[in-house]
């Protein structure tokens, strides 16, 4: 299948490489030439613009930081809508506000282009091994036509509802992840301050009701003091901003989300915005003056 792929950052570069491994033909574009070069070295062709990438594909995938970037890549000058053929499919795999996804979808429909919003969860490790969880919004028939392609990048792809439902589901996911990391950090700081080895605590509780994929992924990073980004603090702030805005628009209270948002904002204010979101533990370390370490 011929695919135009736009956005080759931490996640997108691995997702694109997995499509190449499955035998698909990719034309790729990113604003950073070095990102494009890494993909051409893996077998992709380079485009000079989002328009050119879109013109080369029957399916166009965007994987960008937020709604404004997706709107610019799709609806802006030299964007997807200038190059895509009627009948082609745009799959936006970025994490953006649901209303933005619907706005982009309406612009696509005017040009005869179908769209799915299909944000992902799993971070860089699962992007690398092709086991992302993919949450999809759009028409069922369009989803079914694209499902096999999505499963080249993910272990699961679930249709959650109409266009925008994928990003609503992703916002729910990001709330749960952020609150889970904060809870894990708070609990493990308690054990550390009480003189109990955090590794023993982890071994004791990971198989019980408190166990989670988040804890399994983040506690080893926290106890090693390794905050190399798989998913950056600043990106999680972006997602929680979208969640809070969406919550306000539908009348859904998000008091815990707002509290963790302030913790993430503290990290950004203290130079940790580019760290992994497991650096929420550093917020508690700053409060106590003690580190959660092996």
Q: Tell me the pLDDT tens digit for each residue of 259-268.
A: 999 999 999 9
Active site residue 170: yes
Predicted local confidence at residue 266, as pLDDT: 98
Say what angle helices 165-193 and 198-205 make with each other, to 10 degrees.
130
Do the domains spanning 2-161 and 168-288 agree at the CATH topology level?
Answer: no
* CATH code assigned to 168-288: 1.10.1040.10
Predicted local confidence at residue 230, as pLDDT: 83
Pairing outcome for strands 45-46 and 25-29: parallel
Pairing outcome for strands 114-117 and 2-6: unpaired
* CATH code assigned to 2-161: 3.40.50.720
Query: Which candidate, 272, 52, 128, 215, places its Cα nearest to that of 282?
Result: 272
Record the tokens describing residue 115, joined without a space: 């769209």
**Structure pTM?**
0.93
Predicted local confidence at residue 207, as pLDDT: 96
249 C-beta neighbours (distance < 10 Å), count: 11
Q: Tell me the pLDDT tens digit for each residue of 193-240.
A: 999 999 999 999 999 999 999 999 999 999 999 999 988 999 999 999
Predicted local confidence at residue 276, as pLDDT: 96
Residues whose CB is less than 8 angstroms from the CB of residue 57 and which lie 6 or more positions away in sequence, other chains included: 2, 3, 4, 5, 27, 84, 88
Residues of the chain under the 50 pLDDT cut: none
Query: Which candidate, 134, 161, 160, 157, places its Cα nearest to that of 147?
Result: 157
Which residue out of 13, 51, 126, 170 is catalytically annotated? Answer: 170
Domain extents in the chain: 2-161, 168-288
């Amino acid at each position: 299948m011929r695919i135009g792929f736009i956005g080759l950052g931490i996640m997108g570069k691995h997702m694109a490489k997995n499509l190449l491994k499955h035998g698909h033909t990719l034309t790729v574009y990113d604003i950073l030439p070095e990102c494009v070069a890494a993909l051409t070295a893996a077998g992709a062709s380079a485009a000079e613009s989002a328009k050119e990438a879109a013109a080369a594909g029957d399916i166009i995938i965007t994987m960008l930081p937020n709604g404004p970037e997706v709107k610019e890549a799709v609806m802006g000058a030299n964007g997807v809508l200038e190059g895509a053929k009627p009948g082609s499919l745009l799959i936006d795999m970025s994490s953006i506000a649901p209303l933005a996804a619907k706005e982009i979808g309406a612009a696509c429909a005017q040009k005869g282009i179908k769209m799915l919003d299909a944000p992902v969860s799993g971070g860089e490790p699962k992007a690398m091994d092709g086991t992302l969880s993919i949450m999809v919004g759009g028409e069922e028939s369009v989803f079914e036509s694209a499902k096999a392609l999505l499963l080249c990048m993910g272990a699961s792809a679930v249709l959650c509802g109409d266009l925008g439902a994928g990003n609503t589901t992703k916002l729910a996911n990001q709330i749960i992840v952020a609150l889970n990391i904060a809870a894990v950090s708070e609990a493990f700081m308690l054990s550390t301050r009480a003189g109990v080895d955090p590794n023993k605590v982890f071994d004791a509780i990971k198989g019980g009701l408190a166990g989670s994929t988040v804890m399994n992924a983040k506690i080893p990073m926290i106890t090693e003091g390794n905050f190399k980004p798989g998913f950056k603090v600043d990106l999680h702030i972006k997602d929680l901003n979208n969640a809070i805005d969406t919550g306000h628009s539908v009348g859904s209270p998000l008091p815990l989300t707002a509290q963790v948002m302030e913790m993430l904002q503290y990290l950004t204010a203290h130079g940790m915005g580019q760290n992994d979101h497991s650096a929420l533990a550093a917020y508690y370390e700053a409060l106590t003056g003690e580190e959660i370490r092996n």
